Each structure stands twice: as C-alpha cells, then as structure tokens.
C-alpha cells in the first residue's frame, strides 16, 4: 500500500475548492435531533460604539464610554470572518494497518489534508496538534492563514505517520487533547481524527471540557476487518514477535461483540456531549467519503 507523501497531500488543494466547513447545514456538522447550530463556534469581534437605543441589549453597554460622554453608548459586534481551525491527528503505530485500499494512517493523512485545505480556502486559520507514538509530546503547529498554515502541517503529518506496525499508544489521544486545551480561543473548530482505540474516561472528560466553548467534530478512522471480523479460515495474526493462529469462523462472533461494544461506547459519548461523529473507512477513497459531507446543503 502507498504511504502518502507531501506532493499527494498538497494536490488535494484542488479537490477542496468549492467545499466548506461552515455550510449553512453541512452534513459534517449535523447531529441527531439538531442540538447544535451549524454556525456554533463563530466568535464575535468588536466593531464600533454608538448611542444606546431602546431595545439594545443592556449587557452590551460600554460604561466607560458612557461615563466619559455623559450618554449611554452600546458596543456593536460582528461575526468573525475567520476562526481558528485545529486538526488533531492521533497517529499511533496501530494505524499502520489496512485490509483494503489504504492504511488507516494513510486515510487519516488524506482526510486531514483535505480538511486543512478546505479550512484555508474558506479563509480560516489552520493549526494542528499531532500525536506520534514515539514522541515524548505531541507536536504543535500554530494556527496560520492560507498555505502558510497548511503546508507545514502536511509536512509534519508525512513525517509523523507510522512506518511499521505496533500497538496503539495509550497516551497519544489524551496527550493531544491536553496539549490543545491551553491553545484554544473560545469558538475554535476542532477536527479530531483518530481510530479512538485508546479512548478512556480521562479522554472523555477532556472532550467534555473542550466542547463546552468550542465546536468539535470527530472523524473515526475504521478498517472493515476490525468491524466485521476475519473470513472463514486459519490466520496468523498479531505483531512481530507476538503472533498466534486464529480460526476466522470460530472467533468472528466474539470479535464482532468487542467491536459492537466499542462502537456503542464512542456513540454514547458523542450523543451525551452532542458531538458529530463521522466514520471514514479504509476501503473508500477519501474524496468519495468527505466531499459529500462538505458540500453546501441544498
């Protein structure tokens, strides 16, 4: 399977044209029951002060200006034309796996690159926090506008992708969210790409705290073999140095039960926190999966 390089990720800029993270009702931001506005997360920036008029929100009164001029004045705010968009990439060694078309790590890189280009072309500043299995701490790339924000992120993703199979890192996702929290400006959009293999109670708490003042969207990287189990037959599975034989037919039900429990847990977390969850599977091209989610609703 081909490992993505910088040229491939940079070329996704063309596919990002005409797409939006801020559509009036984008599929990527839809939730069960419509609990959250698609525009949630846009901040307000100060524009000017004018004389207070009946019906103005009293909370917007500028008391300093009013005292200086002897008449009530109110602040006017406009919606920010840009907001920070943060890509959070959980690139542990367990993502070096794929039964069809592409590795899970490759799908994560392609999805992150496309989302980064969509954000930059939409006028948003793009930053990233990248967790890598063999790194002491996640790498931070500050939010910047246009190509200056996206290209360094693409280079960092290519460098950080796993090159050999291994076990999921227990601290990666948790460390990425802990690193991101102090960097956030309220109203930021966070695109979290992971297979959520290491989701735990602490990570759930971090998601809850972060989502209180920001817009978080989860993109779950999945291989169909994880979900469906092995076909009939005998297979040697595991990691180098830790291999064993499995009977596909005999183990399939237990395999699927484990996956079902994992799916239910993540779905319940997202439902409780009102977080949109989108599943990206390795057998599908990233453009086939993501582009329909990023088109303006008709």
pLDDT by residue (tens digit) across 152-182? Answer: 999 999 999 998 888 776 688 999 999 999 9
pLDDT at 81 over 80: no
The pair of three-digit structure tokens given for residue 48, joined into one six-digit string:
């000017």
Q: What is the DSSP secondary-structure string of 273-286?
A: HT--EEEEETTS-H
Query: H-helix or E-strand containing 221?
Result: strand 215-222
State the residue for tokens 């039900």: 253
State the residue for tokens 């901040």: 43
Provide the residue ranges of all domains of the chain, joining segments of one domain with +: 6-34+82-294, 44-79
The pair of three-digit structure tokens given for residue 137, joined into one six-digit string:
């701490």
In 10 A of CB 290, how many CB atoms? Answer: 25
| Mean pLDDT, the chain, integer | 85
Strand partners, 85: 126, 189
| Pairwise CA distance, residues 113 & 249, whole Å | 38
Give the 3-state secondary structure of 106-175. Answer: HHHHHHHHHHHHHHHHCCCEEEEEEEECCCCCCEEEEEECHHHHHHHHHHHHHHHCCCCCCCCCCCHHHH
Strand partners, 220: 194, 279
pLDDT at 150 over 80: yes
| Pairwise CA distance, residues 70 & 157, whole Å | 57
- Class of the domain covering 6-34+82-294: alpha beta
For 22-56, the pLDDT digits (tens) are 754 445 654 433 333 334 444 555 667 888 887 77
In this structure, of 170-174, 195-199, 243-247, the range with the lowest mean pLDDT score is: 243-247
Which of 113, 149, 164, 80 is closest to 5 using CA atoms?
A: 113
Count each helix (H run) and each strand (E run) in the chain, helices first: 9, 10
State the residue for tokens 């506005």: 37
State the residue for tokens 């989302």: 115
Angle at alpha carbon of residue 37, lines to 21 and 147, rounded to 5°: 20
Q: What is the pLDDT of residue 82?
A: 62
pLDDT at 18 over 80: yes
Which of 201, 235, 232, 199 is closest to 218 using CA atoms?
A: 199
| Pairwise CA distance, residues 16 & 149, whole Å | 15
The pair of three-digit structure tokens given for residue 39, joined into one six-digit string:
């525009």
Residues of the chain above pLDDT 70, percent: 87
* pTM: predicted TM-score of the whole model, two decimal places: 0.79
Q: How far is CA 221 from CA 50, 109, 125, in A?
A: 50, 11, 24
Query: What SS3 class is residue 101?
Result: coil
In this prediction, residue 298 has a pLDDT band, given cuts at 50, 70 and 90, of: very low
In this structure, of 11-15, 64-68, 152-156, 292-296, the range with the lowest mean pLDDT score is: 292-296
């Amino acid at each position: 399977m081909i490992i993505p390089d910088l040229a491939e990720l940079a070329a996704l800029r063309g596919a990002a044209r005409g797409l939006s993270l801020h559509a009036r009702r984008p599929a990527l931001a839809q939730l069960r029951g419509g609990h959250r506005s698609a525009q949630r997360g846009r901040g307000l920036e100060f524009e000017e002060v004018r004389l207070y008029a009946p019906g103005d929100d009293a909370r917007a009164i500028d008391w300093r200006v009013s005292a200086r001029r002897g008449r009530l004045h109110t602040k006017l705010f406009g919606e920010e034309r840009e907001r920070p968009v943060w890509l959070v990439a959980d690139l542990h060694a367990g993502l070096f796996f794929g039964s069809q078309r592409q590795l899970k790590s490759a799908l994560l890189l392609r999805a992150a690159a496309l989302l980064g280009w969509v954000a930059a072309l939409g006028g948003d500043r793009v930053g990233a926090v990248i967790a890598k299995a063999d790194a002491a701490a996640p790498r931070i790339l500050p939010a910047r506008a246009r190509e200056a924000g996206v290209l360094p992120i693409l280079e960092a993703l290519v460098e950080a992708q796993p090159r050999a199979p291994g076990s999921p890192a227990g601290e990666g996702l948790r460390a990425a969210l802990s690193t991101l929290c102090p960097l956030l400006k309220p109203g930021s959009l966070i695109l979290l790409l992971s297979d959520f293999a290491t989701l735990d109670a602490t990570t759930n708490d971090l998601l809850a705290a972060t989502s209180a003042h920001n817009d978080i969207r989860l993109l779950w990287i999945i291989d169909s073999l994880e979900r469906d189990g092995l076909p009939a037959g005998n297979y040697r599975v595991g990691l180098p140095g830790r291999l064993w034989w499995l009977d596909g037919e005999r183990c399939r039900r237990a395999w699927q039960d484990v996956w079902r429990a994992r799916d239910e847990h993540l779905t319940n977390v997202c439902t409780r926190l009102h977080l949109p969850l989108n599943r990206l599977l390795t057998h599908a091209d990233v453009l086939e999966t993501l582009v329909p989610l990023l088109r303006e609703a008709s």
